[in-house]
Structure 1
Amino acid sequence: MTMLGYKIIGEGEKKVIILHELMGDHRNYDSSVFYFDKKNFSYIFIDLRGYGLSKNIKGEYSCDEASNDVKNLLLKLDIKEYFLVAHSMSTMIAQKIALIDKRVKKLLLITPISAAGIKMKESAKNKLLEEMQENRGKIEEIVNSSSKRYNQTWRDYRIKLAYESSTLEARVGYMKMYLNTDFLEEAYENIDIPIKIIIGDYDFPVFSMNQVKKSFSKYKDVQIEECKESGHYAMLETPVLFASKLETLLKS
């Protein structure tokens, strides 16, 4: 059985599982973790196949595979119940985990993608995947378009982290996942735990307040918090505020 790489920070009895996004790994949270409540919570940062501490693990990079990988690791760690935090790409995986693992007490989704994935025309989807597969300039384009308020030092950091955090195969694989996977009706019908959401005011339109409200409208218990000064990376852009909002949502 494949076991994902992970790291644990904190000594609290309450367990918080944290997943990363497409262009980063557990290091995305390094700027915020200093401000986390480590007395009451233990934070388990998990890297998916092809990323960070699991970079040498190959796979099909599907939502089913990733969710089962996380569930199996937590069974091995003998985690009885936990809060599940996910960012962007991995928020789809988190919703799938909530369907297959009843130990999840609450979902905390940062700039989330709905269980329907991201919809676009077939021609646009193929073009995006081709550009990502070429591994030449697409990451830079994404970082630059999401970082217009920031200086080149920040952009260079984000680009370097994106390339270093994962294999090309994994990045393309998980992008295919959220462009082609849809289990929205199953999620709406079967996920009944609280869902807490953090979005950034300067994020892409697809992650705007109106869009997120629409995408998560049929869930039974949803709360959305907005980081007014951040874009797609609240944990990096506004670390103190992000840590504070996360703690509030964990305790609410």
Structure 2
Amino acid sequence: MIKLGHKIIGTGKKNIIVLHELMGNYKNYEPIFPYLNTDDFTFVFVDLRGYGLSKDIEGVYSCVEASNDIKNLITQLDLEDVVLIAHSMSTLIAQKTALIDSRISKLILITPIPPTGIKLSQIAKDKLIDEMKENKNKIEEIVYSASKRHNKTWAKSRIKMAYESSILNARIGYMKMYLETDFSQEVENIKIPIKIIVGKYDFPIFALKSVTKLFFPYYKDLEIIECQEAGHYPMLECPVYFASKIEEFAKE
């Protein structure tokens, strides 16, 4: 059984596991570190297979594999009553983990993907995956599209982070995951509270209106808030706000 690489911050009794997105690793969250409540909470920032502290762990990079990896890590760390935070791509993994592990007591999903995955035509899906496989300019295209409000220094920083955070096969694998995974017929079994944060300036598919439409048919105990000063990366764009909100949600 593998053990995912992770970074632990804090000594509090309440456990929070934090997952990253497609083009980053635990370092995406470094701007919030100074503002975390480390007395009441223990934060476990996890890197999935092929990313960051888990770069040397190979896999098939599927939702089933990743959710079982998280479940195993919870056991390995001897944790109970876990709040699970996930961002973008990993929100799909977090929802799946909540289906297979009763120790998850709450989900906090950042700019999330619904349990249906992202629905595209086969042509569009193949094109996106092929462009990621080429490993040439696709990351730049995504970053610049999502960073129009910010300067070029910000964009260059995000691009550098994306390339350094993971291996190519992992990025391709997890992109396939959210384009091909659909467990929407199972999620009625998720009874725990779910909090969602979206960014006002994010891509349309992650906007408040879209996320509301995509999530409310599946979940009863659900709250969605919109960060007014962020796009797809509230933890990077609004770190104080982000740290405050996750603390507020986790304490409820």
Same fold per superposition (TM over 0.5):
yes
The amino acid that maps onto 2:142 is I
The amino acid that maps onto 1:215 is L
Q: C-alpha displacement at 1:215, in angstroms?
A: 1.2
The amino acid that maps onto 2:50 is G
- Give the 5 Å matches for 1:84-99: 84-99=84-99
Q: C-alpha displacement at 1:216, in angstroms?
A: 1.1
Counterparts of 1:213 and 1:97, CA distance in 2: 21
Counterparts of 1:126 and 1:186, CA distance in 2: 27
Alignment of 1:193 onto 2:196 = no
What residue ranges of structure 2 are gaps of 5+ in the alignment?
none
2:118 corresponds to:
118
Give the RMSD, CA atoms, in angstroms: 0.6
Counterparts of 1:73 and 1:245, CA distance in 2: 25
Counterparts of 1:24 and 1:80, CA distance in 2: 27
2:82 corresponds to:
82
- Give the 5 Å matches for 1:34-73: 34-73=34-73
Give the 4+ runs in structure 1 shifted more than 6 A: none
Counterparts of 1:246 and 1:7, CA distance in 2: 18
The amino acid that maps onto 2:249 is L
Q: C-alpha displacement at 1:200, in angstroms?
A: 0.3
Percent identity reads 61
Counterparts of 1:67 and 1:31, CA distance in 2: 26
Alignment of 1:229 onto 2:229 = yes
1:243 corresponds to:
243
Q: Which moved more, 1:56-65 or 1:241-250?
A: 241-250
Counterparts of 1:82 and 1:19, CA distance in 2: 13
Counterparts of 1:194 and 1:216, CA distance in 2: 13
Counterparts of 1:39 and 1:5, CA distance in 2: 23
Q: C-alpha displacement at 1:206, in angstroms?
A: 0.3
2:201 corresponds to:
202
**TM-score of the superposition, structure 2-length normalised?**
0.99
What residue ranges of structure 1 are gaps of 5+ in the alignment?
none
- Give the 5 Å matches for 1:165-176: 165-176=165-176
Counterparts of 2:80 and 2:202, CA distance in 1: 35
1:145 corresponds to:
145
- Give the 5 Å matches for 1:148-167: 148-167=148-167
The amino acid that maps onto 2:201 is Y
Write the deviation string for residues 93-135 of structure 1: whole angstroms up to 9, x where unpaired: 0000000000001000000001110001110110000000000
Counterparts of 1:21 and 1:243, CA distance in 2: 17
Counterparts of 1:167 and 1:22, CA distance in 2: 11
Counterparts of 1:99 and 1:240, CA distance in 2: 31
| SS across alignment from 2:186 | helix
The amino acid that maps onto 1:216 is F
Counterparts of 2:194 and 2:147, CA distance in 1: 28
Counterparts of 1:227 and 1:248, CA distance in 2: 14
Number of equivalences = 251
**TM-score of the superposition, structure 1-length normalised?**
0.99
